[in-house]
Every structure is written in C-alpha cells, then in structure tokens.
Amino acid sequence: MEGSAARPRTRIQTEKREAILEAALDVFSAHGYRGSTIDQIAAAAGMSKPNLLYYFRRKDDIYKALIQRLLDTWLAPLRELDDDGDPITELRSYIRRKLEMARDFPRESRLFANEILQGAPRILPMLEGELKSLVDEKVLVMKGWIRAGKIARTDPWHLIFAIWATTQHYADFDAQVRAVLGPDRGGDGRFEDAARFLEGLFIEGLRPKR
C-alpha cells in the first residue's frame, strides 16, 4: 500500500499507519535499524505481521517514512530563522527551539544519531540535498548579518554545528546528564538551566564588538 497511487486513506487506515510509525519509533530508537525487525514493530503496534505488511511492504519503507518525518521536524526551527529579524533574538530563539526539541523528541533524536553514527547509509541523499540546501541558505543569512555588523565575525557552518551538538546532547545523553546533575538538579528544570547557559555561551560571543 505504501507508495502506491491508491485512493485516499480512510480514517482507520491513517490511524493504523500512525500506530505503526509510533511503534517503529520506539523499536528503531532502542535497537537501531539493523537490530530491529518487522516482528518487533508489529508486536509493539499490537497487530499481526500480515496486517502491518498491508500498510508498509518492507522495514525500509517504515524507516524512511520515519526519517523523512523526523527531518521535517528537525529542520523546522532552522527554517524559522528570519533574515529580517534581529539576529541576536533569532539565534536565541533558535537555540531555545532546538533545546525544546531535545526535551520533547528524545526518541527521534536517538534514531537520527544512530543513523548518522552508521554513516547515514539510508539518508545520505536527504543530508546532501534538503539538509545541505537549507543550511547553505541560512549560512548566507548569517554572512549578511556579519557584513552588516549585526553579529560578530564567525564561521556560520560551525556555529550551526555547535548549536546542534550542544542542544541534542540533552536528548542523546540524557541519562548521563541526569546522573551527573543528581536528583537536585536533574529534574525537568535541567532544560531551562541548559537554555540559560547555552544562550549565554553563544549569544555573548556573537554580540558585535563595539
């Protein structure tokens, strides 16, 4: 059914498909692509394997659907970076949105990290296409801010990489963060503490030198 030019899905078909994707997210984020099976996903979704295969013919089809959805979600904060806005405000908001995603979408972050650690064998065209195009577009925006003296001179590509690395750390290494912070600081407030720290780290360094 997946990828066919069939008539629009019914409500039940849409709900079943969403249940499969939700279950697959749990399985893939816990076991990686190679360690996951159709049987595991079917069991997690509470349906038979033949029923699951009615909606997705292969494990790869499920995985690609998840990755595409993940990439759309992951890139949304970068797309919202407004070249007409105040650069400091825009970058502060971007850092906050990325950290909120680490808080709200930890499974998606682990799934993406696992794929990248394997060399991105199934999503390299997405990275070289959609992701690179968007990053290049926002790099030009940042270069414009630098030329206008609105932010300090920096390498925009590595600035984006650094924001990704520091914010996603709170999803991919959450167990370590909570263990090191301990019960007093390892609760939900750790994300607000992280947001304030990362804003200070990046924003103060990006303010134009007068």
CB 177 within 8 A of CB 156: no
pLDDT above 70: percentage of residues in the chain: 96
Can you give the pTM of this predicted structure?
Answer: 0.84
Examine residue 53 and state whether it is found in any structural domain, yes or no.
Answer: yes
Give the CATH number of the domain where residue 48 resides. Answer: 1.10.10.60
If you average pLDDT over residues 129-137, what whole number do you get?
Answer: 95
Residues 44 and 85 in one domain: no
pLDDT tens digit sequence for 11-22: 888 899 999 999
Lowest average pLDDT, out of 4-8, 43-47, 97-101, goes to: 4-8
Residues 42 and 88 in one domain: no
Residues 77 and 52 in one domain: no
Residues 100 and 171 in one domain: yes
- Tokens 């690395």 locate to 165
Residue 4 above 60 pLDDT? no
Which DSSP string do the residues of 180-194 spell out, in sequence order?
A: HHHHHHSSTHHHHHH
What one-letter code names the amino acid at 175? A
Residues 143 and 198 in one domain: yes
Instruction: Report how many domains make up the chain.
Output: 2
Residue 169 above 80 pLDDT? yes
What one-letter code names the amino acid at 73? T
- Can you give the pLDDT at residue 3? 46
Alpha-carbon distance of 72 to 88, in angstroms, equals 24
Band (pLDDT 50/70/90 cuts) for residue 53 is very high
- Can you give the pLDDT at residue 70? 86
CB 149 within 8 A of CB 208: yes
Examine residue 143 and state whether it is found in any structural domain, yes or no.
Answer: yes
Examine residue 163 and state whether it is found in any structural domain, yes or no.
Answer: yes
Single out the residue of 121, 120, 51 nearest to residue 41, CA to CA: 51
Residues 103 and 47 in one domain: no
CB 87 within 8 A of CB 145: yes
Give the CATH number of the domain where residue 90 resides. Answer: 1.10.357.10
- Can you give the pLDDT at residue 123? 86
Examine residue 4 and state whether it is found in any structural domain, yes or no.
Answer: no
**How many CB atoms are closer than 10 A to CB 13?**
14
Residues 32 and 116 in one domain: no
Residues 52 and 78 in one domain: no
Residues 107 and 197 in one domain: yes
Examine residue 164 and state whether it is found in any structural domain, yes or no.
Answer: yes
Please tell me the number of Cα atoms within 13 Å of 2 on its side-chain side. 21
Residues 98 and 158 in one domain: yes
- In the chain, the N- to C-terminal Cα span, in Å, equals 61
Band (pLDDT 50/70/90 cuts) for residue 5 is very low
Alpha-carbon distance of 37 to 47, in angstroms, equals 14
Alpha-carbon distance of 74 to 76, in angstroms, equals 6
Residues 158 and 139 in one domain: yes
- Tokens 């995603």 locate to 101
Mean pLDDT score of the chain:
91
Residues 49 and 148 in one domain: no
Task: Tell me which residue range forms the domain holding 195.
Answer: 67-206
- Can you give the pLDDT at residue 46? 95
Please tell me the number of Cα atoms within 13 Å of 74 on its side-chain side. 26
Examine residue 26 and state whether it is found in any structural domain, yes or no.
Answer: yes
Examine residue 3 and state whether it is found in any structural domain, yes or no.
Answer: no
If you average pLDDT over residues 115-138, what whole number do you get?
Answer: 91
Per the rule left: phi > 0, alpha: psi between -120 and 50, beta: everything else, 46 is: left
- Can you give the pLDDT at residue 144? 96
Residue 60 above 80 pLDDT? yes
Examine residue 5 and state whether it is found in any structural domain, yes or no.
Answer: no
